[in-house]
């Protein structure tokens, strides 16, 4: 019976639960889903991470290639994030060129990366104006169950922390390079960013870490990205209006989550 | 065509708006903030593509064209941002099985591109006479390296530490959308939010009391969804219209 009720009146089904301060998946309104991070599981990549937030699953792999730096930034390498939402992860996506949502997500992840300044691109330069590392961070969603920005950001930062690059010897006179695959060194990551998404249900109820169903039913989301002591992204694309008090509350929750995640990341 | 020029004493950039510039779209607006210029045009409600049809509401499509070159991933982001804001503010459930096309053309960029594009989109919606739940207005706020906040983009780009774009509704002045760049603290975010809101109100209130802009808005309100053709309707300054809904509409 509950099954039919859920399909026919999904909004009301949720409202009945939320009235009693509980969500259909037995979470409290402000509770997060369990987070699992697994790093370096893909041996063919220079660094990789698999992140699960509830059922949302995201894989991030970083491949390094040698390329020539841009003439305007001769001392910098590149870090190119790309988010892929294949039809495998949800029926919402079709195969073919990247969907609008995938492109928007790619831009958001690139913005977070740039805003947080967690990586100094100068460390990717091998020889100024000649050769530099170009890191391709491919983020692939395997299971779409909401809060995708959170999962992608977490996968990317976990992945960046385990990337190792081989040593390269470059002879500018001969324009020859020698890659020593045996000797690898990690990157210097100056901060850790953590994204937290909230959904606004019926203009007043706030659901932390929404599942995809909750995202669909709610009238807007807000994503806050915290990086150590500071904020680096406040993304609210339309939806229900919010006042200052609510925003303050969100920010404090996010700093709390950051501390929890940091403790977890520190263990590997 | 009316043009409103206003230079505030306390650091708000010059705002100008020109409505009904184009003849083919249902609504169009040229919005200028300082030296940033954006042209917006709105068609709708019009026939919907089969794959985009929504049975209970109108689907909104936003097309953003950069000044030069092909649209890239950054422009897709702007499109989705503006689309979401329009979805929130337009009365989409009144137009089921139809589509509303919002076209944004960047003309000149001097730092406040996103907020200018959002304001232009709002003005185009207003000009078309399409039903809206509320109006929205956007403010860009720049955070300098020395911790100061400014609503004018600084001449020297390297002195910027962060940038905030807020979108407020005109009913309660609440935040309907927010976008940020750079690193900042929670206090700075709040200061910018408060400052942005007050400056937004100041700019629109002042313009409301003595500019022809407001008369124009009132006319758009009264038009009730039909397209204006008669140029005589474009009245000169009419301060008595101050109490008209179109006037109040600009207080956000």
CA within 13 Å, CB half, B98: 13
| A45, A91, B77, B218, B223 from A143: Cα distances, Å | 21, 10, 23, 50, 49
Closest CA of chain A from B161, distance in Å: 10
Asked if A238 and B169 touch (Cβ cutoff 8 Å), the reply is no
Nearest alpha-carbon partner for A64 in A153, A171, A185: A185
User: Are B81 and A238 within 8 A, CB to CB?
Assistant: yes
What's the pLDDT score for residue B202?
A: 58
For residue A114, the chain B residues in CB contact (below 8 A) are: 181
For A238, phi then psi, to 5°, come to 70, -160
Q: Pick from B85, B169, B183: which is nearest to A232 by CB?
A: B183
The beta-strand segments (E) located in B66-112 are 99-108
Q: Distance of alpha carbon A73 from its chain centroid, rounded? A: 26
Alpha carbons A111 and A7: distance in angstroms, whole number: 37
Q: Distance of alpha carbon B61 from its chain centroid, rounded? A: 16
Residue in B closest to A106 by C-alpha: B73
Alpha carbons B227 and B219: distance in angstroms, whole number: 11
What's the pLDDT score for residue B201?
A: 61
| A142, A192, A232, B163 from B180: Cα distances, Å | 29, 18, 8, 6
Residue in B closest to A255 by C-alpha: B186
Two tokens, residue A142: 């395997």
Checking if the pLDDT of A73 tops 70, the result is yes
Checking if the pLDDT of A103 tops 90, the result is yes
How are beta strands A56-67 and A131-143 bridged, if at all?
Answer: antiparallel
Q: What number is the average pLDDT over the span A71-100?
A: 93
The DSSP code for B231 is G
Give the model's confidence band at A36: pLDDT under 50 very low, under 70 low, under 90 confident, else very high: very high
User: Are B80 and A237 within 8 A, CB to CB?
Assistant: yes
Which of A85, A102, A104, A229 is most worth mutating to test chain B (most B CB atoms within 10 A of its CB)? A104
Per run of 10 residues, the mean pLDDT along chain B (length 252 residues) is 38 73 93 90 92 92 94 94 94 93 94 92 91 88 88 85 89 87 90 81 48 37 38 33 39 34
Which of A83, A84, A96, A241 is most worth mutating to test chain B (most B CB atoms within 10 A of its CB)? A241
User: Are A230 and B184 within 8 A, CB to CB?
Assistant: yes
Element (DSSP H or E) covering residue A63? strand A56-67
Query: Could you give the angle at the alpha carbon of A164 between the alpha carbons of A163 and A166, nearest 5°?
Result: 145
Query: Could you give the angle at the alpha carbon of B81 between the alpha carbons of B128 and B172, nearest 5°?
Result: 70
**Contact partners, residue B245, CB within 8 Å, separation at least 6:** B218, B221
Nearest alpha-carbon partner for A150 in A199, A109, A118: A109
Alpha carbons B107 and B99: distance in angstroms, whole number: 25
How are beta strands B149-150 and B160-169 bridged, if at all?
Answer: unpaired
For residue A234, the chain B residues in CB contact (below 8 A) are: 164, 178-180, 189
Closest CA of chain A from B82, distance in Å: 8
- What are the pLDDT digits (tens) for A126-140? 999 999 999 999 999
Q: Pick from B73, B80, B189: which is nearest to A231 by CB?
A: B189
Q: Pick from A108, A227, A235: which is nearest to B183 by CB?
A: A227
- What are the pLDDT digits (tens) for B74-113? 999 999 999 999 999 999 999 999 999 999 999 999 888 9
Does the CB of B202 have a partner CB in chain A at under 8 Å?
no
| B140 strand-pairing partners | B165
Query: Taken in order A103, A106, A110, A115, is the CA torsion positive or negative?
Result: positive
Two tokens, residue A261: 């995640």
What's the pLDDT score for residue B63?
A: 96
Interface ipTM: 0.90
Two tokens, residue B81: 């941002």
Alpha carbons A121 and A79: distance in angstroms, whole number: 8
Element (DSSP H or E) covering residue B142? strand B136-144
| A48 strand-pairing partners | A61
Does the CB of B71 have a partner CB in chain A at under 8 Å?
no
Would you tell me how many other CB atoms lie within 10 Å of the CB of residue A255? 18
Closest CA of chain A from B232, distance in Å: 37
Alpha carbons A134 and A140: distance in angstroms, whole number: 19
What's the pLDDT score for residue A268?
A: 62
Element (DSSP H or E) covering residue A153? helix A148-162
What's the pLDDT score for residue B172?
A: 78
Give the model's confidence band at A90: pLDDT under 50 very low, under 70 low, under 90 confident, else very high: very high
Nearest alpha-carbon partner for A133 in A123, A148, A120, A119: A123
What residue ranges define each of the domains in chain B, with the CATH number in brackets? 15-248 (3.30.230.70)
Q: Pick from B80, B169, B184: which is nearest to A231 by CB?
A: B184
What's the pLDDT score for residue A204?
A: 83
- What are the pLDDT digits (tens) for A226-246? 988 889 999 999 888 888 888
For residue B186, the chain A residues in CB contact (below 8 A) are: 231, 248, 251
What's the pLDDT score for residue B1?
A: 32
Q: Pick from B74, B172, B189: which is nearest to A107 by CB?
A: B74
Mean pLDDT estimate for chain A: 91
Does the CB of B74 have a partner CB in chain A at under 8 Å?
yes
Give the model's confidence band at A203: pLDDT under 50 very low, under 70 low, under 90 confident, else very high: confident
Alpha carbons A89 and A254: distance in angstroms, whole number: 27
CB contact residues (below 8 A), chain B span 153-192, against chain A:
162, 164, 167, 169, 172, 174-186, 189-190
Asked if B239 and B247 touch (Cβ cutoff 8 Å), the reply is no
Instruction: Return the CATH number of A11-266, one of 3.30.230.70, 3.30.70.270, 3.40.50.300, 3.40.50.1820.
Output: 3.30.230.70
Chain A interface residues (partner B, CB cutoff 8 A): 100-101, 103-104, 106-108, 110-111, 114-117, 220, 222, 227, 229-244, 247-248, 251
Alpha carbons A180 and A184: distance in angstroms, whole number: 8
**How big is the A-B interface in CB pairs under 8 Å?**
99
| A171 strand-pairing partners | A176
**Contact partners, residue A178, CB within 8 Å, separation at least 6:** A168, A169, A170, A171
């Amino acid at each position: 019976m509950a099954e039919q009720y859920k399909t026919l009146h999904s909004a009301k089904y949720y409202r009945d639960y939320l009235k009693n301060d509980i969500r259909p998946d037995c979470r409290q309104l402000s509770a997060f889903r369990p987070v699992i991070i697994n790093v370096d599981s893909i041996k063919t990549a220079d660094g990789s991470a698999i992140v699960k937030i509830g059922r949302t699953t995201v894989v991030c792999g970083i491949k390094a290639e040698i390329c020539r730096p841009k003439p305007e930034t001769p001392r910098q390498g590149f870090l190119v994030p790309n988010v892929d939402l294949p039809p495998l992860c949800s029926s919402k996506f079709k195969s073919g060129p990247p969907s609008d949502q995938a492109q928007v997500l790619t831009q958001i992840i690139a913005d977070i990366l740039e805003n947080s300044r967690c990586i100094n691109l100068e460390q990717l330069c091998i020889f100024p104006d000649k050769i530099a590392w170009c890191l391709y961070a491919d983020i692939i969603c395997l299971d779409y169950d909401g809060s995708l920005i959170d999962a992608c950001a977490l996968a990317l930062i976990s992945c960046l922390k385990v990337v190792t690059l081989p040593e390269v010897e470059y002879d500018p006179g001969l324009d020859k390079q020698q890659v020593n695959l045996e000797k690898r060194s990690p990157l210097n990551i100056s901060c850790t960013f953590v994204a937290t998404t909230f959904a606004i249900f019926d203009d007043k109820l706030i659901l932390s870490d929404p599942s995809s169903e909750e995202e669909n039913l709610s009238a807007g989301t807000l994503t806050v990205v915290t990086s150590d002591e500071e904020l680096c992204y406040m993304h609210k694309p339309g939806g229900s209006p919010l006042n200052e008090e609510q925003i303050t509350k969100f920010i404090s929750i996010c700093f709390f989550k950051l501390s929890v995640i940091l403790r977890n990341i520190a263990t590997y | 065509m009316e043009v409103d020029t206003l230079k505030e004493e306390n650091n708000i950039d010059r705002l100008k708006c020109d409505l009904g510039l184009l003849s083919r779209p249902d609504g169009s607006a040229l919005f200028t903030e300082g030296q940033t210029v954006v042209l917006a045009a709105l068609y709708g409600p019009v026939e919907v593509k089969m794959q985009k049809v929504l049975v209970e509401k109108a689907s909104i499509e936003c097309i953003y064209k950069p000044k030069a070159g092909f649209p890239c991933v950054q422009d897709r982001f702007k499109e989705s941002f503006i689309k979401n804001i329009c979805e929130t503010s337009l009365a989409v459930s009144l137009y089921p099985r139809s589509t509303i096309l919002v076209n944004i053309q960047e003309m000149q960029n001097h730092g406040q591109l996103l907020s200018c594009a959002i304001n232009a989109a709002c003005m185009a919606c207003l000009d078309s006479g399409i039903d809206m739940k509320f109006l929205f207005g956007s403010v860009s706020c720049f955070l300098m390296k020395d911790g100061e906040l400014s609503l004018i983009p600084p001449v020297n780009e390297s002195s910027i530490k962060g940038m905030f774009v807020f979108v407020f509704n005109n009913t309660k002045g609440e935040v309907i959308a927010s976008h940020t760049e750079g690193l900042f603290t929670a206090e700075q975010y709040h200061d910018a939010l408060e400052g942005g809101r007050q400056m937004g109100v100041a700019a629109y209130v002042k313009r409301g009391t003595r500019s022809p802009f407001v008369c124009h808005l009132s006319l758009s309100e009264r038009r009730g969804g039909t397209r204006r053709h008669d140029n005589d309707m474009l009245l000169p300054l009419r301060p008595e219209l101050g109490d008209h809904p179109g006037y109040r509409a600009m207080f956000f």
